Amino acid sequence: MIPPHGAKLVERVLGDAEREDILARSAGLPRLRLNAASANDVENIATGVFSPLQGFMGRVDFHHVLNEMRLSNDLPWTIPLVLDVDKGEAAGLKTGFDVILTDASGDPLAVLRLEEKFEFDKEEMARKVFGTTDSGHRGAAKVLSMRDVLLSGKVDLIRKAPSPFPRFKLTPREARVLFREKGWRTVVGFEAASAPHLGHEYIQKSALAFADGVFIAPLVGRNKSGGYKDEVLLAAYEQLIRTYYPKERVVMAVLHLDDLGAGPREAVHKAIVFKNFGCTHALIGRDSAGDGAYYHPFAAQDIFEEFPDLGIVPLFYGAVSYCKKCRSVVNDRICPHPSADQAACDVTKIRDMFLRRETPPAELVRPEVAKVILNYRNPFHE
């Protein structure tokens, strides 16, 4: 089994006695209410999704990640993991003491062992992580609107947040045990951000031709305007797997990750997440994890050149289409025919067809999958 990033899977979920102890003390501790993204971060840290991080980054790691795309111990890490608060909140918190982190309704989620408070340059962070300070970039806009002070420190999870999709929620530890139970030695991770078309199926099955299993991970909780609703994404993939995949060679589990559109840095970040789940390979598409035209089409693949020590093998794929001459799904490496003979597996065009309540051609989307999507009155977020 592939080792987790940093060699040790982080597990910071409190046991019963520790949980009772902290809850008994919680009335006397300061509280911070987390937004949904930070609440996800906390659970991801505590369950090892972000191993080796044990908490929110301190100043040294933060700057290392910005400047070198590595933690201060030289381990590859590309996206700062931080918790922002306003100056007033920060002033009321003492380093060296515990802070209760709550969900939006005020219920305790975790305890932050506060180590450091520091101010940061938002423009610098946006420029280095996203390559832009343009507020038209969703990640840059988010960073620019962050509060002024970052808190760092280890977190311990008091309770896991209820998931709308409990059947598809696995921790890295659970995924690792599962892969071992299945006897998989090679596992390919695929991040599913949109409902599957035949291009996705082609890529996943091409990987399955040499790997033992594929780990399909729909990104949920993003509520991105115009994007597929989580339940639609899952239902579409369930239908595809049920109808067209060898069930024993596929595992699907959701990822609760913030989708910042950080392009190349985000592609590496997600590869690390897949590694922590036990994947040996990660499928990285052209234009992966980007936001509009902010990055070179191959930037998300080229960046892996800088990380010979990443510990997971990226598998790159390009544009996929259906070729009428070949009468099969192809990519640009294997088909000699001109684009006039091809129908591109284009996520945006397919989504537009669904928006018009049209069934996409069977060369692009499996009819069974299209039917599932069209069964929803509105499959997309407003």
Task: Decide if residue 246 touches other proteins (CB under 8 A).
Answer: no
Task: Decide if residue 154 touches other proteins (CB under 8 A).
Answer: no
Rounded Cα–Cα distance for residues 256 and 260 (Å): 12
Q: Beta strand 55-56 with 31-33: parallel, antiparallel or unpaired?
A: unpaired
How many binding residues for other proteins (CB under 8 A)?
28
- Which residues lie below 8 Å from residue 247, measured CB to CB, with a gap of 6+? 241
- Which residue of 31, 87, 167, 349 would you call a contact of other proteins, by CB under 8 A? 167
Task: Decide if residue 7 touches other proteins (CB under 8 A).
Answer: yes
- Which residue of 16, 308, 340, 377 would you call a contact of other proteins, by CB under 8 A? 308
Task: Decide if residue 264 touches other proteins (CB under 8 A).
Answer: no
> Nearer Cβ to other proteins, position 10 or 289?
10
What amino acid is encoded at 128 in this protein?
Answer: K
Q: Beta strand 281-285 with 328-331: parallel, antiparallel or unpaired?
A: unpaired
Region from 77-85, 100-108, 305-313, 327-335 binding other proteins, contact rule CB under 8 A: 305-313
SS3 158: coil
Smallest distance from the beta carbon of 311 to other proteins, in angstroms?
A: 6
SS3 217: strand
Smallest distance from the beta carbon of 167 to other proteins, in angstroms?
A: 6
> Nearer Cβ to other proteins, position 240 or 335?
240
Rounded Cα–Cα distance for residues 49 and 52 (Å): 9
Residues 63-82 contacting other proteins, CB under 8 A: 63, 67-68, 74
SS3 177: helix
Task: Decide if residue 347 touches other proteins (CB under 8 A).
Answer: no
> Nearer Cβ to other proteins, position 251 or 330?
251
Contact of 182 with 248, CB cutoff 8 Å: yes
Give the other-Cβ count within 10 Å of 344's Cβ. Answer: 16
> Nearer Cβ to other proteins, position 112 or 272?
272
- Which residue of 176, 222, 256, 281 would you call a contact of other proteins, by CB under 8 A? 176
- Which residue of 106, 181, 327, 333 would you call a contact of other proteins, by CB under 8 A? 181
Write out the two tokens for 43.
Answer: 């659970």
> Nearer Cβ to other proteins, position 11 or 332?
11
Rounded Cα–Cα distance for residues 358 and 349 (Å): 11
Q: Beta strand 281-285 with 313-317: parallel, antiparallel or unpaired?
A: parallel
Task: Decide if residue 4 touches other proteins (CB under 8 A).
Answer: yes
Task: Decide if residue 313 touches other proteins (CB under 8 A).
Answer: no
Smallest distance from the beta carbon of 365 to other proteins, in angstroms?
A: 26
Task: Decide if residue 16 touches other proteins (CB under 8 A).
Answer: no
> Nearer Cβ to other proteins, position 239 or 321?
239
Task: Decide if residue 28 touches other proteins (CB under 8 A).
Answer: no
SS3 199: helix
Task: Decide if residue 174 touches other proteins (CB under 8 A).
Answer: yes
Burial class (CB in 10 A: 0-12, 13-18, 19+), 343: middle
Rounded Cα–Cα distance for residues 334 and 356 (Å): 33
Smallest distance from the beta carbon of 122 to other proteins, in angstroms?
A: 15
Q: E-assigned strands of 95-226?
A: 98-102, 108-119, 149-157, 187-192, 213-218
**Interface with other proteins by CB under 8 A: which residues?**
1, 3-4, 7-9, 63, 67-68, 74, 166-167, 170, 173-174, 176-178, 181-182, 251, 305-311
